Amino acid sequence: MGKNCIVAQSGGPTAAINASLAGVISAVNKSNNYEKIYGSLHGIQGVLRNEFLELSNATEDFIERLAATPAMYLGSCRYKLPDYREDEAAYKDIFEMFDRYNVGAFFYIGGNDSMDTVAKLSEYADAMGSSIRIAGIPKTIDNDLLVTDHTPGFASAAKYVASSIREVAYDTYIYDLQSVTIVEVMGRDAGWLTGASVLTRNEFSFAPHLIYLPEVAFDREQFIEDVRKSIDRYKNVIVAVSEGIHDAEGNYIAAGVAADDKFGHAQLSGAGKALEYLVKEKIGVKVRSIEINVLQRAAGHMASKTDLEEALSLGAEAVRFTELGETGFMTVIKRMRNEPYEYIIEHSPVKDIANKAKPVPVEWINDAHNDVTEEFISYIKPLVEGEVDVFYKDGIVDYLPIEHLVQTK
């Protein structure tokens, strides 16, 4: 009689994280080594609270719908484990639960913070001489995890951002007057997703005409200069900015506008809104800002097929690696070639990945700091390829039901 597995999800939602869950479930259910698979609700908290969904009886149809459903089927948490040497209580509870459920392997799908949990649990298991395998599976639209070539969720968000900016460009080009449209993209510390907006460009439209990433300092005066020049040349100018752009002193541009509500509280506007005000003040043309907001991370209807396939493989391979005896790792994508695009899945020690971040290389940003380079484009291009089947019910996008996450007293 084999051991059982637990899988959980953590951090922010993406369009691809459920594909990794589907990969784990599918691989466990096909495995000769493992028996049952339990989904822990709300990340590691589900283990502490004994809140599980049994997933062993998942049908092919369920797996397929799951892979195409955005956000997180099992729910998320933002829970940080303490150092076990200082406070062992949670660890004892977790490993007691692992014993109770006869667990042989625990899979955690998430970003930097979640990999911290994987690193700590595997370190604890090691210190206790436990044979339980602890594996991490990457996801984040920020694409800022080390070692892996890129992270699931990023390419789907990129596809949505570039497609949405193309639609914004069509919307903007209809007016025969000078205008500036500023699109704010997620990514506080890493500009990967903002840079991906470069894919919007085609043979007749250069939008976004200016792209600003948080990896280099943002200069307000240079920005106004850039916009003036672009208006002259293109009339309708579209600007993509990362929410995290900041000046040379490290102050967020978003904080440049300190809005006071009627109760007298200071409020922060986003970077896009701050630049909208700046353009209105300094240039005076028609200007608008658009914050794509959470729509970009939850848009399952425009997921990249390449992204979902990779996410699925990263989940399935994690199961296989634990069967080979590996623990304390995160599955990673290694790019083998670009044309045609090929990759393999490997594993890498999670302790080298957790709590660290991978910014866009400064060499991939142009000298004027208002665009990305050809290297960036070559990197991102293959990742957004391919479309997935989109399900509609009564005319509205439809996903796998998540009634277990929804409260209706």
Give catalytic status of residue 142 as yes or no. Answer: yes
Task: Quote the CA–CA distance of 290 and 272 in Å, as a whole number.
Answer: 7
Residue 232 binds its own copies, judged by CB under 8 A: yes
Evaluate whether 271 touches 242 at the Cβ level (below 8 Å): yes
Give me the sign of the Cα torsion angle 215, 221, 222, 225: positive
User: Shortest distance, CB of residue 401 to its own copies, whole angstroms?
Assistant: 5
C-alpha neighbours within 13 Å on the C-beta side of residue 256 = 23
Distance CA 166, CA 203 (A): 13
The two tokens of residue 235 are 């009339």
Instruction: State the catalytic residue, choosing from 113, 116, 142, 144.
Output: 142
With respect to its own copies, which residue has the nearer C-beta, 128 or 295?
A: 295
Give the x-and-dash track for 249-268 against its own copies (CB under 8 A): -------xxxxxxxx-x-x-
Q: Which range of residues in 60-68, 122-130, 353-361, 394-402 is near its own copies by CB under 8 A?
A: 394-402
Rule CB under 8 A: choose which of 127, 344, 368, 397 binds its own copies.
Answer: 397
Interaction residues for its own copies, span 134-163 (CB under 8 A): 159, 162-163
Distance in Å, CB of 26 to its own copies, minimum: 21
Among 50, 202, 338, 355, binds its own copies (CB under 8 A): 202
Give bridge partners of residue 344 from the DSSP assignment.
Answer: 334
Residues 80-99 that bind its own copies (CB under 8 A): none
Q: Find all residues with CB under 8 Å of 400, minimum gap 6, and list them.
A: 18, 62, 65, 66, 68, 69, 73
Residue in 29, 31, 40, 76 binding its own copies, rule: CB under 8 A: 76
Classify the C-alpha dihedral 91-97-102-105 as positive or negative.
negative
Q: How far is the CB of 262 from its own copies (least distance, A)?
A: 6
What is the C-alpha separation between 22 and 59, in angstroms, rounded? Answer: 11
Per CB under 8 A, 171 contacts its own copies: yes
Q: What is the closest distance, in whole angstroms, from the C-beta atom of residue 368 to its own copies in the complex? A: 18
Could you give the string, one character per residue 273-312, with x where binding to its own copies holds by CB under 8 A and - elsewhere?
A: -x--x---x------x-xxxxxx-xxxxxx-x-x------
Check if the beta carbon of residue 199 is closer than 8 Å to that of residue 226.
no
By the rule CB under 8 A, 77 interacts with its own copies? yes
* 3-class DSSP state of 57: coil
Q: How far is the CB of 169 from its own copies (least distance, A)?
A: 9
User: Tokens 């999800």 appear where?
Assistant: 9
Examine residue 335 and tell whether it contacts its own copies (CB under 8 A).
no
Question: How far is it, in rounded angstroms, from Cα 116 to Cα 359?
Answer: 19
- Asked if 17 and 4 touch (Cβ cutoff 8 Å), the reply is no
Query: How many residues sit close enough to its own copies to count as binding (CB under 8 A)?
Result: 87
> Looking at beta carbons only, is 1 or 174 nearer to its own copies?
174
Q: Is 332 left (phi over 0), alpha (psi -120 to 50) or beta?
A: beta
The residues in 349-388 that bind its own copies, with binding defined as CB under 8 A, are 381, 384-387
Q: Which residues are catalytic?
A: 142
